[in-house]
Structure 1
Amino acid sequence: MRIEQAVADRLHLAREFSGCRLDCSHGFEVIKSHILNFYDEVRVHDKESLSTLKPEDLYALYRDLDEVAHLEVGDRLAGLILEDVEIKRALHTIRSCYSAFFDYHEIHLARDLLNSQSPWSALKSFPLYPRYRALIKNQVKAANLSLGDTLAFLGCGPLPITSILLGRIYGIGSVGLDSDPRAIEIARECVKHLHLEDRVSIVEGDESGLEGIEWDVVLVAALAEPKKRIFQEIRSVLRKRGPRKVCYRTYSGMRAVLYRPVQPGDVEGFRKVREIAPRGKVNNTIVVLELKEDGRDI
């Protein structure tokens, strides 16, 4: 019932928004109403109750929010929506739900993968798999990754799809880091089940672990926190080791309803050298940084 209602709501949203000019007041009211209705639905949940939802119901919740995030609105309208007082009050809860979706849905998928005799088929059946393929393609392009490079991925989670696809499709090695012991255990099992141990290693730890491993490029996951501390540590490591490529994933436009974007203060001491905006249903903007010569913002 939950899934059927979610589909009906998304169709209603599409009809309501269709034909509306990018910055019209009607569009603002349509989107605001949908966001606040979503907030009313998810605020009764906490992480524990979300973890008990069936995978299909959890994904239906995600799709409700995802449809809003991918509406084609102008920058002005997106800014007005995200700065609305009522919406701003709801954003913490909404973004917590989005984060919890990945925590739990990836665990469900990892279990399916580990129980499958055809793990690659199980992975490709993941509804978001095409998005990951497109995102990784953007990642390789943005960081100019090539054979011989090693990517350090901060916040790899229980199913390190970035590392898995880099190794499988592009032959690029990576080290996934995560501070959650359960996520690390599951991630290692997935890598082993996919026979990628020669290209992907998983390490328990946060950004402080960067100093003890070899890497050419570091990638900060969109949901990795706290961002300011992470980039401060990366800056410290680069001062000791010399220049390295630094990348992060963030959210822009209406997609910023999904999760708090990286703020300028988070990346103090770096300068932006490249940015690739998402296209289609991809969520993340990819940004490449370099350390400023004096290590400070100016």
Structure 2
Amino acid sequence: MGNAVRGVIAFIPSERCQRFLVGHLKEMPLDRTLDLSSHQLRRLPAAACVFDELVKLYLSDNNLSSLPAELQGLRKLQLLALDFNCFEELPAAVCRLPQLSILYLGNNKLHYLPKQLSELRELTTLWLETNCFTDFPEVVCELTNLKTLHLGYNQIRMLPNNIQQLEELRSIWLAGNLLTEFPPVLLEMHFLAVIDVDRNRIRQFPSLSHMSGLKLIIYDHNPCINAPTVGDGVRRVGRWADSSDDDLEDNATKAVSEITEEVVDVQSEEKQSD
């Protein structure tokens, strides 16, 4: 949709806006992707769920707090973006999307997840950053194909021991929580490639040199008295890193991007070989 149309939509009341958008959806998009982000939507009309061949649905940056039951008819949906909305609970229909592999739920008002989330057997990427979690949502530990978990900027104080059963997990993002110690359970998860505990309350770090899969540890903005010891080739972003790591600290975003690309490449190779 062009900028001119977006400019017009910005002045349309939300109820008329959603009728305008859905009314102009005449046929399945060629790329099987529907992007209704940033359109002031307060509800998703059921008519938007008629394209049962959809693979990607973007609903980010609206005013949604619920979704119609008809959403579960999108049986081939693989990506669903619900970030930057007003959800206080996860709509039941989301848990009935059998092919869903990527779910963005960041920047909402969630404080728990339903047990039905465990039915998403294909889920590999889950973003839950900037919500209202005070406890780690333990149903996440049942998502055995999960590879990336983002729980940054909540109020989590500890991780459950059963998170180590997520043997496919490669990156975990926990920045901006209330951790007072490096989660002991992560020391048992040698397969992790990326660990982000930036902006917590950790005072002392254990050695991570035994973690054979580790590629990047982000630990800056903690009141720590030491830096974590790591193996050869592991990048660190934080205080007391050595000179080569200090360069990375000045450009932490680049370091994260590079490592994330490496992890994605490895995961893609593994998927192709299966």
User: How high is the TM-score relative to the length of structure 1?
Assistant: 0.28
User: Larger Cα Rg: Structure 1 or Structure 2?
Assistant: 2
User: How high is the TM-score relative to the length of structure 2?
Assistant: 0.29
Higher RCO (CA-CA < 8 Å; seq separation 6+):
1
Higher helix share: 1
